[in-house]
Amino acid sequence: MLLQMIGCDHHQAGLEVRQQLAFDGSQTRAALAAWHRQFPATELALLSTCNRVELYAAAEGEDSAPAAEELVASLLNFRQLPQEQLASQVQTLTGSEVVRHLYRVTSSLESMVIGEPQILAQVKQAYLHAHQLGCTGPLLHELFQSALRTAKRVTGETSLHKHRVSIPSVAIADLASCVFETFDDKHVLVIGAGEMAEETLRYLRDAGRAQIHVINRSAERGRELAHTWSGTYHAWDELWDQLVRADLAISTTSAGQPVVTGADYAQRVTPHRHQRPLFILDLAVPRDFEPSIGEDPGVYLYSLDDLDHACEQNRQARAAELPAAEKIVAQESSRFVAEINHRATTPVITGLRAGLERPKTAELERLFRRLPDLDAASQAEIRQFADRLVNKMLHPPLESLRDASQNGPPHGLLDALKRLFHLED
């Protein structure tokens, strides 16, 4: 079995490169279909998120597998990107490296925000897309299913995923949830359309089915963000009306002074809300909302300074859980690699057993013909003796194969056994 992974993530490539390589759902299906026609003997799955683009490939042997350079070329060619500029930023992994990497990715140990929960669903979806297109088989099935089991162990046996580790995750999961029991049908106003706003919306979408409304000075970017999250874009002059309607406001503009002053809020918003709760997450530097707005009845105003302490506590709690998570990944990846390597020995083991069973059966038949007066009980005892003898003879080579499989495919030992016992491929 030959495993390969080619791709890039936020460790190797900047956002500009990752954006060029990114695949949406329809592009993923088209690419997998094209690559499956190009490499019909290879199982394929494509994982594309905002932080990574990774193509996984598996084949029964090296002869039937494409070279890593071919996979890289196929990836870049599909996106119509120059190989001479980007090939150096594409990472290549093989064998046990692929197993460990996928386990770490699925367990969120490779995420930009370690412990974030979205990646598990993204890995599941990536495999499902490939499976539905007929691009997977038993090799990738076992790899991805074992990766998902490993992630579940990390979630169940450590507290890594219980600690919020980013400002948006702390704001939504730990603070806003104290104000709202559910985010279903809540009116969410996003002021500005930067990366922080998008990350906050990602956590919010996991928490419920909120109604997203975007206001941004750049209509093009505002409409793009609203479309991404199935929301509605509003012109900048609708700001005050949207603040009146909002349950949750997320502000991430790059304005040099407050977008909403205390005086404006008191005059244009407060009289129309009737103390209905409003959670304001001000992620802008400098602030978009003047601090005095937080004194208004029903307003819960949090700035970056307010959230920093909570985030630091969560980072420390997360760091304490990393060794346990890494240990689980190491255990599971070693177990999977050993099982795959041992599977390569199955034909030789089958040949060894068959090679000893044939003469055993022939000799027993010859013995029973020469001793026709043996009763059934005596024959059974002799057969049992022969079986035990064969098993004892097989034990040393089988143990050697199992031990050798822990460190990689035992090609040398397999070749030696084939020659010694005249086993065919």
Spatial contact of 324 and 163, defined as CB atoms under 8 Å apart: no
Amino acid 176: pLDDT: 67
Sheet holding 2-9, edge to edge: 43-48, 52-59, 2-9, 91-94
Does the pLDDT value for residue 165 go beyond 70? no
For the question of residue 8 being annotated catalytic, the response is: no
Write the pLDDT tens digit of every residue in 350-377. Answer: 777 888 888 889 999 999 999 988 999 9
Give the model's confidence band at 318: pLDDT under 50 very low, under 70 low, under 90 confident, else very high: confident
What's 2-162's CATH class? alpha beta
Question: Which pair of structure tokens corresponds to residue 83?
Answer: 């190989």
Region of poorest pLDDT, from 140-144, 330-334, 352-356, 377-381: 352-356
Amino acid 104: pLDDT: 95
Its pTM stands at 0.63
Amino acid 270: pLDDT: 94
Among candidate residues 50, 135, 178, 311, the one labeled active-site is 50
Name 105's bridge partners.
none
Q: Which of 61, 116, 86, 67 is nearest to 7 (CA)?
A: 86
Amino acid 411: pLDDT: 64
Does the pLDDT value for residue 54 go beyond 60? yes
3-state secondary structure the chain: CEEEEEEEECCCCCHHHHHHHCCCHHHHHHHHHHHHHHCCCCEEEEEECCCEEEEEEEECCHHHCCCHHHHHHHHHHHCCCCHHHHHHHCEEEECHHHHHHHHHHHCCCCCCCCCCCHHHHHHHHHHHHHHHCCCCCHHHHHHHHHHHHHHHHHHHHCCHHHCCCCHHHHHHHHHHHHHCCCCCCCEEEEECCCHHHHHHHHHHHHHCCCEEEEECCCHHHHHHHHHHCCCEEECHHHHHHHHHHCCEEEECCCCCCCCECHHHHHHHCHHHHCCCCEEEEECCCCCCECHHHHHCCCEEEEEHHHHHHHHHHHHHHHHHHHHHHHHHHHHHHHHHHHHHHHHCCHHHHHHHHHHHHHHHHHHHHHHHHHCCCCCHHHHHHHHHHHHHHHHHHHHHHHHHHHHHHCCCCCHHHHHHHHHHCCCCC
**Greater pLDDT, 385 or 15:** 385
Spatial contact of 108 and 152, defined as CB atoms under 8 Å apart: no
Averaged pLDDT, 70-78: 91
∠ CA 245-255-199, nearest 5°, is 65
Does the pLDDT value for residue 114 go beyond 60? yes
Region of poorest pLDDT, from 104-113, 340-349, 384-393: 340-349
Question: Which pair of structure tokens corresponds to residue 145?
Answer: 């299913």
Amino acid 233: pLDDT: 95
Does the pLDDT value for residue 315 go beyond 80? no
Does the pLDDT value for residue 166 go beyond 70? no
Q: What percent of the chain has a predicted confidence (pLDDT) above 70?
A: 90
Does the pLDDT value for residue 205 go beyond 80? no
Distance CA 222, CA 233 (A): 6
Amino acid 353: pLDDT: 82
Compute how many other C-beta atoms are within 10 angstroms of the C-beta atom of residue 33: 14
Q: Which of 194, 177, 201 is nearest to 284 (CA)?
A: 194
CATH 3.30.460.30 location in the chain: 2-162
Spatial contact of 46 and 126, defined as CB atoms under 8 Å apart: yes
Compute how many other C-beta atoms are within 10 angstroms of the C-beta atom of residue 26: 8
Q: Which CATH superfamily includes the segment(s) 167-306?
A: NAD(P)-binding Rossmann-like Domain (3.40.50.720)
Please say whether the dihedral angle defined by the alpha carbons of residues 28, 34, 37 and 41, taken in this order, is positive or negative: negative
CATH 3.40.50.720 location in the chain: 167-306
* Mean pLDDT computed over every residue of the chain: 85
Give the model's confidence band at 34: pLDDT under 50 very low, under 70 low, under 90 confident, else very high: very high
**Greater pLDDT, 118 or 215:** 215
